[in-house]
Amino acid sequence: MNKATRKTIIAGNWKMNMTPSAAEAAVKETAALVAGKDGCETVLCVPFVDIHAAVAAAKGTNVKIGAQNVHFEAKGAFTGEIAADMLLECGVEYVIIGHSERRQYFGETDETVNKRTKAALAAGLKVILCLGEVLEERQAGITAEIVSMQTKLDLAGISADDMKNVIIAYEPVWAIGTGLTATPEQAEEVCAIIRGVLADLYGDTVAQATTIQYGGSMNDGNAAELLAKVNVDGGLIGGASLVPAKFAKIVDAAQA
């Protein structure tokens, strides 16, 4: 096991927060704080309507801009959806797919997550693919089975070559927005399980090269010990990414 074979990525997920003017200010503030911190890739995943302002504010900095979802069709009668080429043309580099809030509140399934991932990769976006168990599954002792199944279903038909543009975010649903962070040992255990599944699917080289983030109440106080784990290659951060000073401290913790 060697972290040097993969990129550490700290990504903020702003969820449904920030108007375009607030986004512009927050991206600028974040970019100023993380300037020169090249020990990790720093990404902010913003609401669709903020993309224009966020991309402009991030220009010339080391902050990359991501979106929070993408549709699987190229265009057509899909009211309210956004296509991959629309995101690309706006300067988006990353897209979150399969976030548990999408799965929980908007009927996202492993099948639609897989379709969206394929469309995003085909268009040239980098995908932050989210998966993780709910509390009942952890209590029933089936976390390994659940995350293994999600990994296989969500990546079905995706080639080893495409995996260089896939980041997995392990996000235990019980830890998201709850203040209940997984312990570093729990995060490490499940990220290692996911890496094992990637090794089965794609071989060891791809598995060792794939960034696997932890997400779920990661903050400036707990990031360092989570990121110290050999299989935890970054974080997907919700609440704490809304405050540039806190988010920048997480980026600092990833420089080691």
Using CB under 6 A, list all residues that contact ligand PGA.
Answer: 13, 171, 176-177, 215-218, 236-240
Tell me whether residue 110 or residue 220 sits nearer to ligand PGA (CB atom): 220
Give me the long-range contacts of 46-49 (CB less than 8 A, separation at least 24). 46/14, 46/18, 47/14, 47/15, 47/16, 47/17, 47/18, 47/23, 48/82, 49/20
Rounded to a whole number of angstroms, the minimum distance from the CB of residue 90 to ligand PGA is 22
Q: How far is the CB of 236 from ligand PGA (least distance, A)?
A: 4
Which has the closest alpha carbon to 169: 183, 156, 157, 154? 154
Nearer to ligand PGA, 143 or 202 (CB): 143
The catalytic residue positions are 99, 171
The C-alpha atoms of residue 90 and residue 119 are separated, in whole angstroms, by: 17
At its nearest, how many Å lie between ligand PGA and the CB of residue 188?
Answer: 18
Rounded CA separation 211/166 (Å)? 8
Query: Closer to ligand PGA at the Cβ: 98 or 216?
Result: 216
Alpha carbon distance 81, 72 (integer Å): 9
| Distance separating alpha carbons of residues 156 and 148, to the nearest angstrom | 12
Element (H, E) at 63: strand 63-67
Distances in Å between the Cα of 230 and the Cα atoms of 169, 184, 222, 225 are 15, 10, 16, 11
Q: Which is nearer to ligand PGA, 93 or 220 (CB)?
A: 220
Smallest gap from residue 241 Cβ to ligand PGA (A): 7
**What is the Cα gyration radius of the chain?**
17
CB of 75 to ligand PGA, least distance (A): 28
Nearer to ligand PGA, 207 or 237 (CB): 237
Name residue 112's amino acid.
T
